[in-house]
Structure 1
Amino acid sequence: MNSQYDSLINEEARTQFHRDGFVIVKNALSCEEVGVLRREVDNLVNFLISENMDIMRDFGGVIEPISCGYIDPPVSQMYILSKRSYSGLRNMVTEDPDTVVPILFGKMSALAKNLLPTATTDNPMCLFNEQYIVKTPNSVSSSSFEWHQDSQYMDASAQKAFPIVSCWTALDDVNITNGTLLIEPFPRLIDPSTGSYLGLPNSLNSHATHLQHHMHLASCYEKELDRNTAIAQAHNSNETIPASLRSAPPNQNQVYERQRPILVDITAGTIVFLSGYVRHCSLGNGSSKFRRAYMPQFSAGKVQTGDGGLVSLAVPCADDQHERELEQQQQEEAYQQPDEFEEYQMQ
């Protein structure tokens, strides 16, 4: 735990995350931090519009700071593996004093760390992806996202090996009018002998236990609800949903109960932390203003495909001790063998 953020991600928040697949942390970012992110996304949006790009048609509302065209494509792909290289590129998008890097690798990663398995040498905590999600004004028909789980965008082997957490961060007040999230929490497991809800397993800081728990709860989802039905159920929170108990695969000694969908209504600076396995969708923007959100994703380990290739970014969030040692070694070699080092630099 990072004591600086104990009040934001406490034991109660972690329990809800592992039970329901998400947790909402209000006012997680300060007004100044929200301002930094707003200014950056506004610069990116204005640039793309100036290039005759349509945010919804050409980008689906998803803008990745490094690859959207705002800066020249990186010559080397080292940035996907290196915090130092990635930070250097990010600072080309927005420089000091508005750089996003301290927010991304500072508060964001520290908060997400408390919801992922304990980092190890083999499975370090990594930045997996980073994007702004922008819904243009009056775009109800084109800016909604269907029901999905974030892990489904990884290949099958990666889904079973690497937990991820998405940090969906509101940069505007978000509600049903301008394109909010609709979340179906994980089903609740019930002890059939007592009828009581089952507690969480021990050792959720373990990579294997975390994965097994989240994947098992996700496997208990029933068919996706019609979106209008889900919204109606979310609105009628005082009405009882008829019990829907089913055997929980693969353990037939458990049963589960479907939970009521949650319609998110939050202020700017609030973060919705989503397990890679929780089901959610988002509504279209029917307002007259842009709706902006920022969503970095973090993983427990460098997410790889079955054949060893990287799925997306694999930027270690911890300080790059290995990089510092390598740089020092190169400097020493340069001092001892200047000709060889000069040739290496030119390659």
Structure 2
Amino acid sequence: MKFQADRSTLIRALAHIQSVAEKRNTIPILANVLLSIENGTLRLTATDMEIAVVEEVAAEGLRDGAATAPASVIYEIVRKLPDGSVVELDHAGGDAPLALRAGRYATSLNVLPVEDFPSMVAGDLPYSFTVPAGVLRGLIDRTRFAISTEETRYYLNGIYFHVAESDAGPMLRAVATDGHRLARVETELPPGAEGIPGVIIPRKTVNELRKLLDEGAADVEIMLSETRIQFRAGTVTLTSKLIDGTFPEYERVIPKGNDRIMRVGKHDFATAVARVAAISQERSRPVKLSVQTNLLTLSAISPDQGMAKEELDENSVSYDAPPIEIGFQARYLNDITDQIENEVEFAFADSAAPTLVRDTNSPSALYVLMPMRV
């Protein structure tokens, strides 16, 4: 195998690849990238046996073939080369090292046999549809903050994608929850997505996919079965296993009768929460919301540091219901308000019941937040 490629082309592809390759693994080959050149197309592949990423880029093929080499090492070398460099990679075959040259720089890297590189075959993917990259990006951004990191509840370690019925007809819905907060966002059902099974896309896959959505592809082709999913965006194909588990019946935790409605400007509210919460370094310490007619008082107490309080009046707050005092973890409040553009709507029931949070400009998104005792 021998080819030449522009540094800018190579670094972009390696950035996708190296984050999937397993650097700390008992199977050494999983730390490598598979480089193969054929008819002027360079294909880079990495896998951790749960996810596989394949990217095709143009290169000047001097000798067709394939080799594997440490993904993170190649990435670091190419990243530190000068802009405009032409990178040449040459592998004579067998146990010979992979030679990398760029200008006056030269190095050689140990390889592992191409035959040992695992193939993560997607198999039959009977469902196929296309989603605009911007729409998929919105579904991910507004839900992934609520993905659970508790490994024992593995079925919550991803985003649940499924078809759901609404007043506007069938929708493609994304849901994530960690038991403390829930995010539910939906979009118009794309043609071809009718009848797809509900699937849980793992957190790592979600994060890798999100990186690809910033690369300029207009549309993303999604193919899936009950066990695997594949995304094609531009020149990149991401294949992943799905979480083998049952997502909980989340609709049961979405309150229906919350009728104490408070609307508050997102910026004023988020910055007030941040200032009040700064009194304590404890991530779990609550911020108390005391709500009266068109007046919101936020407060926090730290046994070690003291207390903080801030008021928002009718210039920022609209509320016309019985007074209520309720506490939430500051980080959870900010995670939700980060997804909202201008005005936040809180729908309370009482100080112990789940609270509904909405973006007044985006009816497609809904959030549920569990209160804390204050």
Classify the TM-score, shorter chain: under 0.3
Work out which of the two has the higher radius of gyration on C-alpha atoms and give 1 or 2: 2
Structure with higher RCO (Cα < 8 A, 6+ apart): 1
In the superposition, the TM-score normalised over structure 2's length comes to: 0.20
| Structure 1 or 2: more strand by fraction | 2
In the superposition, the TM-score normalised over structure 1's length comes to: 0.21
